[in-house]
Structure 1
Amino acid sequence: MTTATHVPALLQGDPQADAIGAPERRTMTRGELAALVARIGGALRAIGIGQKDAVAIVMPNGPEMAAMFVGVASYAVAAPLNAAYRADEFDFYLSDLDAKALIILGGPDQPARAVAAKRGIRVIDVTPDLAGPAGALTLSVPFADHGAPNPSPDDVALVLHTSGTTSRPKIVPLTHRNLATSAGNIRNTLALTPADRSLVVMPLFHIHGLIAALLSSFAAGASVHVPAGFNALKFFAQLDEAKASWYTAVPTMHQTVLARADRNQDVLARNKLRFIRSSSASLPPQVMKQLEETFGCPVIEAYGMTEAAHQMASNPLPPRARKPGSVGIAAGPEVAIMGTDGALLPAGEVGEIVIKGANVTPGYANNPKANAEGFRDGWFRTGDQGILDTEGYLRLTGRLKEIINRGGEKISPREVDDILMDHPAVAQIVTFGIPHEKLGEEVGAAIVLKEGQSASEQDIRSFAASRLADFKVPKKIVFLAEIPKGATGKLQRIGLAQKLGLVS
């Protein structure tokens, strides 16, 4: 299969093949999607939007969002934003992006619409065409024909912001080459074929959903089924309708699905997945084992981040080895471990994970300081700490900014997580640092217990003390019904002590 160098090329292939499905809708073919993309592009050109102009997209998950992303990314710079943002957040992002237009689902007023009006940004309303195939839509500006898209591989196709947990969010531009390369890497890693169908549960304002679920499928000539966002109560019904062969999600989503699996054995019996993929956060080995036993298929853990257009490493499909607790082998870009002096380290030594390849962003926008810090000798510094074994499998030992420094002792929160997930009463855990006047930081843990199970702080501490050095044992344990998560379902360590009121 040839390697595409821009997003529109990912739609080439059999025009009669399925492209986008959705609940209770006829499936849109690749030919119909390509035609819709051309009409979206023509409408953008008709109102003066060029290839290098940023267009913000504020739409909920669904087939229309999938089609709109491909359309905008083919003819301009797509900037999908979380529809749940507040007005001040939209004001920041629309300004920071210098957005030339806002595409939004028609209907009741939303904060993004008011902010765009205040800033004089053109608003384009989207109306789903429910009589048409999944993804069909009309716009509040006339569709126009402007010919097939033909962007340069080095044109920016997508801009996303970093999370900004510890600093001002940075703009990550990703080129057509970045996106097409990463989509091809994921296609190859998962051996996707036109027979595959992905159930899209990740949000389509996030790199994981956009590239791992959506574009990798199109790169393989495969199809996607796009319901209206992730809902654990509807997941098994959606799986049943989609007849999907795989899905990709963050660990917290997998855990939510597992909690309802026993009540949906009939659906599991009817729908045999080829594999399940997990990425964007550490998958506890215990959860991996439970997923494989429940679904009867391999679970493929991968390692991704926005600056790499998602995928960097992945465990391979059987018969090659999957190593629980590892994020696999290099899966596209080069992956190495760098010491603090900039030298690359041999297998078995811990250091910062660095990458280079055609999927890696050319650099943050308008941020020379971040670029100077983020790149070294042609390598992109991920900010993650890890170790490569002699077979090339990568194990993450922590996010450098999340490492807890307790009186000079460095503690990996992931190590504590992995130990405490073995406690029979623990369903979820996130270990984090709590500011401490004398030690700098102390170890804290937020825990969700399994339904019907009980445990005390002392139970948890005693269990941890039997398997961890004393200084790694959490001194403060908080039991919660649900651990606060980010917009994409990821557990967030940084700032958790403040959110839970543990900072005096």
Structure 2
Amino acid sequence: MGTTLQALLAAHPDTAPAIGAPGRTWLTYGGLRALSADIRTQLRSAGVGPSDRVAIVLPNGAAMATAFVTIAQSATTAPLNPSYREDEYTFYLEDLKAKALVVEAAYDGPALAPAQRAGMTILRVESDDADPAGSFRLVPDAAQDAAPEGTPGPDDIALILHTSGTTSRPKIVPLLQSNLAASAVNIAHSLALTPQDRCLNVMPLFHIHGLVAAVSATLISGGSIFCTAGFNAMNFFAIMEEARPTWYTAVPTMHQAILSRAPRNAETIANVPLRFLRSSSASLPAQVMEELARTFNAPVVEAYGMTEATHQMCCNPLDRQKPGSVGVEAGPMVRIAHETENRLIDGTGEVCISGDNVTPGYEGNPDANAKNFFEAEGHRWFRTGDQGAFDNDGFLHLTGRLKEIINRGGEKVSPLEVDGVLMDHPAIQQVVTFALPHPKLGEEVAAAVVLRDGAQADEAGIRDFARQRLAEFKVPRRVVILDEIPKGATGKMQRIGLAEKLGLVETA
């Protein structure tokens, strides 16, 4: 029997700090529980019942964190990216069938018109800077009939997110209260979180990584979380001084930006010692993991997550990290499946998972469910779409997304393998290997790189470097040197479609 977010938050001392933000007093656990009760009353009086869906469009920060945590105890949350355009909001709000939209008090942005056209209740977040971090009240634009009381149970939906939809229509992923609770507990256990720990959140809070690994896992462990307005490498160390965290979690591109500013912030690194650093949502190059560990004198824990797993599936243990591995199973059962047949295998294949943190299935999409879920050996397995294999120590090594594996005339190339080789080049700071359409081979190998400050390299030299370390068919045919690699909304570098984004057309 699963549990709920509310039940897990009930045990912590009233006076313990829970939510912080720059220049604000701390919201305590007692304050968070009182706020949760007030928000429930405000939702019900605005006509939002326990099974209704509430879209949240708020900027990153303490109010976004508390809006998620408090609303999720009383209804279904659906956080959306505040930078979407009106057409995107029209799609997502309609797809979600949301009852209400939560926005800032003075918001007049692109989510408003689609919500009004759909007849949704507009709830405005009003707050006072003199109140503790994350304090707010919900004020509806118009009076509504009250909704019936009720408390969501373990089998009710707590959170709805969409898959990123890089190659197809985004799929709706409903995550139950029990999924959210199980994943938060798994992460807290993996990281040995205690009430003495403090997380510095730089992740966007419309994404599973920030919502579950940073916010939920911290709060169920009784620790505190300092909420920033989003990631900014320029002020990261200043905020670190104020927040005094014991850890933070980020995507690899953020870690690399932090590393680039670390030498001039050695005093802060010494003054605010971290117990560990966590990386997830994309593969962390081994070279970056090792440089982070040296710089911060702390373990760098790479984890492996995805939305359908309510984030975490695997995690490197605190006492043993393997650069280039996403760790050991850390919550759900993790196995390898045949890529086309519904059976488990040894060796390399599609990573699949089964456990209390796994979504019951995509909403309104029986074809996707039939394709992605299967029964074997007494369990229901979800196919992750990732290819990988376990080593003899039980650490999982990913080869890449199955859709991202480059098929060069029948020879399969792992983009992650090429990334790893190119990251050893002394001039290269970031790299993303991707498929380039080719008229004869189908796909050719290409790479986009960002050079270190002051470093020099050219395409021919980088290709020669790769040629000494890789079989000829794996050597990038094109190397594009960029000031910045295009990233998605959560800071991940995206391989699929990168050739088109960069305007590369193969003519060979």
Q: Deviations over 1:299-354 (max 9, x none)?
A: 00000000000000000011xx21111111000000001123333222xx110000
Q: Is the 8 A contact 1:40 1:143 kept in 2?
A: no
Deviation at 1:146, TM superposition (A): 9.9
Letter in 1 for 2:472: D
Q: Is the 8 A contact 2:49 2:149 kept in 1?
A: no
Q: Cα RMSD over matched residues? A: 1.7
Deviation at 1:178, TM superposition (A): 0.2
**Compared CA separation, residues 146 and 22, structure 1 to 2 (3 A):** farther
Q: Secondary structure in 2 aligned to 1:34?
A: helix
Residue 360 of structure 1 corresponds to 358
Residue 131 of structure 2 corresponds to 132
Q: 2: CA distance between counterparts of 1:128 and 1:369?
A: 44
Letter in 1 for 2:359: T
Q: 2: CA distance between counterparts of 1:144 and 1:83?
A: 28
Deviation at 1:149, TM superposition (A): 6.9
Q: Is the 8 A contact 2:289 2:323 kept in 1?
A: yes
Q: Deviations over 1:140-185 (max 9, x none)?
A: 2399999997321010000000000011000000000000000000
Q: 2: CA distance between counterparts of 1:438 and 1:124?
A: 56
Deviation at 1:266, TM superposition (A): 1.4
Residue 300 of structure 1 corresponds to 301
Q: Deviations over 1:102-124 (max 9, x none)?
A: 00012241001122122221111
Residue 333 of structure 1 corresponds to 332
**Compared CA separation, residues 65 and 108, structure 1 to 2 (3 A):** closer
Which of 374, 378, 392 does residue 376 from structure 1 map onto?
374
Q: Secondary structure in 1 aligned to 2:111?
A: helix
Q: 1: CA distance between counterparts of 2:20 and 2:158?
A: 24
User: Do structure 1's residue 171 and structure 2's residue 172 form an aligned pair?
Assistant: yes
User: Do structure 1's residue 103 and structure 2's residue 102 form an aligned pair?
Assistant: yes
Q: Is the 8 A contact 1:42 1:147 kept in 2?
A: no
Q: Deviations over 1:188-241 (max 9, x none)?
A: 000000000000110110000000000001111111000111111110011111
User: Do structure 1's residue 186 and structure 2's residue 187 form an aligned pair?
Assistant: yes
Q: 2: CA distance between counterparts of 1:108 and 1:49?
A: 20
Q: Which segment is superposed worse, 47-56 or 19-28?
A: 47-56
Letter in 2 for 1:382: T
Letter in 2 for 1:175: L
Q: 2: CA distance between counterparts of 1:145 and 1:20?
A: 30
Q: 1: CA distance between counterparts of 2:48 and 2:58?
A: 19
Residue 500 of structure 2 corresponds to 498
Q: Secondary structure in 2 aligned to 1:358?
A: coil
Q: 2: CA distance between counterparts of 1:6 and 1:146?
A: 21
Note the 1:203-222 alignment, pairs <5 A: 203-222=204-223
Deviation at 1:488, TM superposition (A): 0.3
Q: Deviations over 1:264-311 (max 9, x none)?
A: 111111100000000010000100011011111000000000000000
Q: Secondary structure in 1 aligned to 2:133?
A: coil
Q: Is the 8 A contact 2:18 2:28 kept in 1?
A: yes
Q: 1: CA distance between counterparts of 2:462 and 2:133?
A: 49
Q: Is the 8 A contact 1:42 1:146 kept in 2?
A: no
Letter in 1 for 2:494: Q
**Compared CA separation, residues 350 and 72, structure 1 to 2 (3 A):** same
Q: 2: CA distance between counterparts of 1:23 and 1:149?
A: 35
Residue 434 of structure 1 corresponds to 436
Residue 343 of structure 1 corresponds to 343
Note the 1:259-274 alignment, pairs <5 A: 259-274=260-275
User: Do structure 1's residue 84 and structure 2's residue 83 form an aligned pair?
Assistant: yes
Q: Which segment is superposed worse, 178-187 or 122-131?
A: 122-131
Q: 1: CA distance between counterparts of 2:220 and 2:59?
A: 23
Q: 2: CA distance between counterparts of 1:402 and 1:128?
A: 45
Q: Secondary structure in 1 aligned to 2:294?
A: helix
Q: Is the 8 A contact 1:40 1:144 kept in 2?
A: no
- How many aligned residue pairs are there? 498
**Compared CA separation, residues 257 and 450, structure 1 to 2 (3 A):** same
User: Do structure 1's residue 309 and structure 2's residue 307 form an aligned pair?
Assistant: no
Task: Work out the percentage of aligned pairs sharing the same amino acid.
Answer: 59
Residue 115 of structure 2 corresponds to 116
Q: 2: CA distance between counterparts of 1:5 and 1:204?
A: 23
Q: 2: CA distance between counterparts of 1:4 and 1:291?
A: 37
Normalised by the length of structure 1, the TM-score is: 0.96
Deviation at 1:131, TM superposition (A): 1.2
Residue 481 of structure 2 corresponds to 479
Q: Which segment is superposed worse, 144-153 or 290-299?
A: 144-153
Residue 11 of structure 1 corresponds to 9
**Compared CA separation, residues 500 and 263, structure 1 to 2 (3 A):** same
Following TM superposition, the consecutive aligned residue runs of length 4 or more in structure 1 with deviations greater than 6 angstroms are: 142-149
Q: 1: CA distance between counterparts of 2:240 and 2:150?
A: 34
Q: 2: CA distance between counterparts of 1:157 and 1:258?
A: 36
Letter in 1 for 2:360: P
Q: 1: CA distance between counterparts of 2:489 and 2:440?
A: 34
**Compared CA separation, residues 143 and 72, structure 1 to 2 (3 A):** farther
**Compared CA separation, residues 148 and 115, structure 1 to 2 (3 A):** closer
Q: Is the 8 A contact 1:42 1:143 kept in 2?
A: no
Q: Which segment is superposed worse, 129-138 or 368-377?
A: 129-138
Q: 2: CA distance between counterparts of 1:190 and 1:146?
A: 40
Deviation at 1:138, TM superposition (A): 2.4
Note the 1:32-71 alignment, pairs <5 A: 32-71=31-70
Q: 2: CA distance between counterparts of 1:50 and 1:473?
A: 57
Letter in 2 for 1:155: D
Q: 2: CA distance between counterparts of 1:471 and 1:399?
A: 19
Q: 2: CA distance between counterparts of 1:467 and 1:240?
A: 42
Deviation at 1:503, TM superposition (A): 3.1
Unaligned runs of 5+ in 1: none
Q: 1: CA distance between counterparts of 2:497 and 2:396?
A: 27
Q: 2: CA distance between counterparts of 1:482 and 1:148?
A: 50
Letter in 2 for 1:412: S
Q: Is the 8 A contact 1:432 1:494 kept in 2?
A: yes
Q: Is the 8 A contact 2:47 2:145 kept in 1?
A: no
Q: Secondary structure in 1 aligned to 2:249?
A: strand
Q: 2: CA distance between counterparts of 1:110 and 1:147?
A: 31
Q: Secondary structure in 2 aligned to 1:94?
A: helix
Residue 469 of structure 2 corresponds to 467
**Compared CA separation, residues 418 and 144, structure 1 to 2 (3 A):** farther
Unaligned runs of 5+ in 2: none
**Compared CA separation, residues 144 and 421, structure 1 to 2 (3 A):** farther
Q: Secondary structure in 2 aligned to 1:396?
A: strand
Q: 1: CA distance between counterparts of 2:107 and 2:122?
A: 14
